[in-house]
Amino acid sequence: MVINSNKMNEIITDLKSLKNETLLNLKNSKANNTIRAYKSDYQDFNLFCIKNNFKSMPSEPSIVSLYITYLSFKGLKMSTLKRRIVSIGVIHKFKGYYLDTKHPSIIENILGIKRRKGSNQKGKKPLLINYLKKVINVIDEKKINNIKRYRDKSIILIGFAGGFRRSELVSLDYEDIEFVDEGLKINIKKSKTDQLGEGFVKALPYFDNKKFCPVISLKKWIVASKINSGALFRRLTKGSKLSEFRLTDQTVALLIKEYLELLGLDSKNYSGHSLRSGFATTAAESGAEERNIMAMTGHKTTQMVRRYIKDANLFKNNPLNNIKL
């Protein structure tokens, strides 16, 4: 069978279209915040390559392995090293290249670093219930207008009670919430572990203590802000007037740090993730089942949740509790 030149050109064009469409699908398979994180990680790798006259795109496993060793010298956590490897591999896919991130030179290097330096490195602290209450008290006592007060309380209480990721929290729209007799239903359209965008619903019941109730707090915010569509949590202007722009996930972290500093705590020990980890740890301390914690947080694997449970049980099941002095 002989294929004429016009037919061949059509096939080539179709293949190029398929390749471009495939790359577009790969990019759209990830949440926007995840893609930003991948790009940020890759930029650091690219700088490393530039400084050492290495080719960053396409790269080689041996170069990635050297980069990982360099990061370990800087004292970065094992979880960060693994994330950087994933990011470099994903960006290669986006550019149409294949990089073997499971190559022995990378995997064996990671194992060696883990054995030499350990992987149980100290992360950011969870915001536990006792400090959560103190933060809410600080917000109530601080001389700020009610718009900021209601917004900040809602963000912190909803973020904690729902075990939210910052990206999920700031992506919420008014249309995603529904007040029911039992409390509040929140529709999560898409999250980090829900790349297909199937969505799921979080349910927050009313708390007995109204001061710390996320449902009541959100109602107050909606009444004060008069929001009836679009972004649920928005930026305030310098004059503390409500804008049309939604908050960024970085703002959530800054809010938490702002109020922790007013409590006299070192804000460097906390991050925006402290609300999520605080919920999971507190729920574990209270005896909540692993599967129920995962249903709220949206974790797809048990590894991280079991770590929260382990931390929660350090004192709860401590053998020293049975020793009387």
Q: pLDDT of 99-126, one tens digit each?
A: 999 999 999 999 998 888 765 555 678 8
Give residue 115's pLDDT.
Answer: 85
Question: Diameter of the chain by CA atoms?
Answer: 93
Question: What is the overall mean pLDDT for the chain?
Answer: 84
Q: Find out whether 247 and 235 touch, Cβ atoms under 8 Å.
A: yes
All domains in the chain, ordered by first residue = 31-117 (1.10.150.130), 129-316 (1.10.443.10)
Close Cβ partners of 132 (under 8 Å, ≥ 6 residues apart): 156, 157, 160, 212, 278
Closest CA to 233 of 272, 288, 194: 272
Distance (Å, whole) CA 272 – CA 118: 25
Give residue 2's pLDDT.
Answer: 47
| Residue pLDDT tens, the chain, 325 long | 444 555 545 544 576 677 667 666 655 655 566 788 889 999 999 999 999 999 999 999 999 999 999 999 888 888 889 999 999 999 998 888 999 999 999 999 999 988 887 655 556 788 889 999 999 999 999 888 889 999 999 999 999 999 998 888 999 999 999 999 999 999 988 666 555 566 788 999 999 999 999 999 999 999 999 999 999 999 998 877 888 999 988 888 899 999 999 998 888 888 888 898 888 888 888 888 888 888 888 777 777 777 777 776 777 777 767 776 6
Global pTM value: 0.66
Indicate which residues carry an active-site annotation. 165, 192, 273, 276, 299, 308
Closest CA to 207 of 197, 194, 221, 217: 217
Q: Find out whether 143 and 115 touch, Cβ atoms under 8 Å.
A: no
Give residue 189's pLDDT.
Answer: 81
Give residue 311's pLDDT.
Answer: 73
Name beta bridge partners: 272: none
Distance (Å, whole) CA 217 – CA 210: 8
